[in-house]
Chain A
Amino acid sequence: MRLGWGCQEGLVVGGPEQRLRLVALGGIMSRVSVPCHVKGTVALQVGDVRTSHGRPGVLVIDVTFPSVAPFELQEITFKNYYTAFLSIRVRQHTSMHTPAKWVTCLRDHCLMPNPHSEEGAQDYVSLFKHQMLCDMARVLELRLILRQPSPLWLSFTVEELQIYQQGPKSPSMTFPKWLSHPVPCEQPVPLLEQMWALTEMIRASHTSARIGRFDVDGCYDLNLLSYT
Chain B
Amino acid sequence: MSQEESDISLIIAQIVQKLKGSNLYAQLERQAWASLQRPEIKLESLKEDIKEFFKISGLFPLPSHPAAPPEHLKEPLVYMRKAQGSWEKRILKSLNSMCTELSIPLARKRPVGEQKELLNKWNEMGTDEPDLSLFRPVYAPKDFLEVLINLRNPNYENGDSLSFRTHLGLIQVPLKVKDIPELKECFIELGLNTGQLGIDDSTQVPPELFENEHVRIGQKVLAEQDSAAAQQYVRQGSPTALRAELWALILNISSQPEDILYYEQLKTNVIQHDLLVDSLIYKDVKLTASNDDYYFVFEDYLYQVLLCFSRDTSVLSHFAYNSASPPKSYIRGKLGLEEYAVFYPPNGKSNVIASSIAPLCFLYHEPSKLYQIFREMYVRFFFRLHSISSHPSGIVSLCLLFETLLQTYLPQLFYHLREIGAQPLRISFKWMVRAFSGYLATDQLLLLWDRILGYNSLEILAVLAAAVFAFRAVNLMEVTSLAAAEAVLADLSTLKVMPLLQIFLFATVT
Q: A residues near B, CB below 8 A?
A: 1-5, 8, 10-12, 15-16, 19-20, 23, 28, 30, 77, 79, 81-82, 113-114, 116-119, 121-126, 151-156, 160, 162, 173, 175-179, 182-183, 185, 189-203, 206, 208, 211-216, 219-227
The answer to whether B330 and A154 touch across the interface, beta carbons within 8 angstroms, is no
Contacts A/B (CB < 8 Å), 11 sampled: A2-B228, A4-B228, A20-B56, A20-B58, A122-B76, A124-B65, A125-B65, A201-B46, A201-B47, A223-B331, A226-B92
Nearest chain-B residue to A162 (Cβ)? B67
A53 CB, nearest partner CB in chain B, Å: 12
Q: What are the 8 tightest A-B residue pairs by CB atom distance, in nearest-first order?
A: A214-B346, A124-B65, A196-B32, A117-B176, A199-B16, A16-B58, A193-B35, A4-B227
**B72 on the interface (CB 8 Å rule)?**
yes
The answer to whether B41 and A178 touch across the interface, beta carbons within 8 angstroms, is yes
Per-residue 0/1 for B25-49: is the Cβ within 8 Å of any A Cβ (1 yes, 0 no)?
0011101101110101110011111
Kindly list chain B residues whose C-beta atoms are within 8 Å of the C-beta of A123: 65, 76
The answer to whether A1 and B227 touch across the interface, beta carbons within 8 angstroms, is yes
The answer to whether B328 and A215 touch across the interface, beta carbons within 8 angstroms, is no
CA distance A196 to B47 in the complex (A): 10
CA distance A224 to B61 in the complex (A): 41
With A117-B175, A198-B47 already in contact, the answer to whether A19 and B57 are too (CB < 8 A) is: yes
The answer to whether A2 and B229 touch across the interface, beta carbons within 8 angstroms, is yes
Q: Pick the contact of B329 from A20, A195, A219, A225 — CB < 8 Å?
A: A225
The answer to whether A222 and B155 touch across the interface, beta carbons within 8 angstroms, is no
CA distance A124 to B42 in the complex (A): 37
The answer to whether A214 and B332 touch across the interface, beta carbons within 8 angstroms, is no
Per-residue 0/1 for B1-27: is the Cβ within 8 Å of any A Cβ (1 yes, 0 no)?
010000001001101110100011001
Kindly list chain B residues whose C-beta atoms are within 8 Å of the C-beta of A195: 12, 15, 28, 50
Kindly list chain B residues whose C-beta atoms are within 8 Å of the C-beta of A220: 107, 109, 273, 331, 342
Kindly list chain B residues whose C-beta atoms are within 8 Å of the C-beta of A214: 269, 311, 313, 342-343, 346
CA distance A186 to B16 in the complex (A): 22
The answer to whether B273 and A79 touch across the interface, beta carbons within 8 angstroms, is no
CA distance A126 to B76 in the complex (A): 16
The answer to whether A153 and B156 touch across the interface, beta carbons within 8 angstroms, is yes
With A193-B31, A223-B329 already in contact, the answer to whether A175 and B174 are too (CB < 8 A) is: no
**B51 on the interface (CB 8 Å rule)?**
yes
CA distance A219 to B436 in the complex (A): 40
B504 CB, nearest partner CB in chain A, Å: 23
The answer to whether B24 and A1 touch across the interface, beta carbons within 8 angstroms, is yes
**B139 on the interface (CB 8 Å rule)?**
no
Kindly list chain A residues whose C-beta atoms are within 8 Å of the C-beta of B28: 192-193, 195-196
The answer to whether A185 and B65 touch across the interface, beta carbons within 8 angstroms, is no
The answer to whether A23 and B67 touch across the interface, beta carbons within 8 angstroms, is no
Indicate the member of A118, A125, A173, A194 with the most B CB atoms within 10 Å.
Answer: A118
Residues 362-420 (chain B) with a chain A CB within 8 angstroms: 390
**B105 on the interface (CB 8 Å rule)?**
yes
Kindly list chain A residues whose C-beta atoms are within 8 Å of the C-beta of B15: 195, 199
CA distance A201 to B45 in the complex (A): 11
The answer to whether A178 and B176 touch across the interface, beta carbons within 8 angstroms, is no
CA distance A178 to B46 in the complex (A): 11
**B425 on the interface (CB 8 Å rule)?**
no
The answer to whether A216 and B228 touch across the interface, beta carbons within 8 angstroms, is no
CA distance A91 to B15 in the complex (A): 45
CA distance A149 to B77 in the complex (A): 20
Per-residue 0/1 for B56-76: is the Cβ within 8 Å of any A Cβ (1 yes, 0 no)?
111101001111100010001
A29 CB, nearest partner CB in chain B, Å: 10
Q: Pick the contact of A177 from B13, B40, B252 — CB < 8 Å?
A: B40
Nearest chain-B residue to A81 (Cβ)? B155
Kindly list chain B residues whose C-beta atoms are within 8 Å of the C-beta of A222: 105-107, 329-332, 342, 344
From B94-102, B112-120, B459-467, B490-498, give the one contacting chain A.
Answer: B94-102
Q: Pick the contact of B36 from A28, A197, A199 — CB < 8 Å?
A: A197
The answer to whether B51 and A223 touch across the interface, beta carbons within 8 angstroms, is no
Kindly list chain B residues whose C-beta atoms are within 8 Å of the C-beta of A5: 228
With A118-B175, A193-B32 already in contact, the answer to whether A1 and B269 are too (CB < 8 A) is: no
CA distance A70 to B408 in the complex (A): 55
The answer to whether B9 and A118 touch across the interface, beta carbons within 8 angstroms, is no
Kindly list chain A residues whose C-beta atoms are within 8 Å of the C-beta of B262: 212
A2 CB, nearest partner CB in chain B, Å: 5
A175-B53, A196-B28 are known; give 10 further A-B pairs, CB within 8 A. Answer: A2-B229, A20-B57, A152-B165, A215-B342, A220-B331, A221-B109, A222-B106, A225-B92, A225-B329, A226-B330
CA distance A44 to B268 in the complex (A): 67
**B78 on the interface (CB 8 Å rule)?**
yes
The answer to whether B95 and A118 touch across the interface, beta carbons within 8 angstroms, is no
With A124-B65, A212-B314 already in contact, the answer to whether A179 and B49 are too (CB < 8 A) is: yes
The answer to whether B67 and A124 touch across the interface, beta carbons within 8 angstroms, is yes
Nearest chain-A residue to B227 (Cβ)? A4
Per-residue 0/1 for B226-266: is the Cβ within 8 Å of any A Cβ (1 yes, 0 no)?
11111100000000000000000010100000000010010
Q: Pick the contact of B78 from A119, A122, A183 — CB < 8 Å?
A: A122
**B142 on the interface (CB 8 Å rule)?**
no
**B443 on the interface (CB 8 Å rule)?**
no
Nearest chain-B residue to A178 (Cβ)? B40
CA distance A53 to B340 in the complex (A): 57
Kindly list chain B residues whose C-beta atoms are within 8 Å of the C-beta of A1: 23-24, 27, 224-227
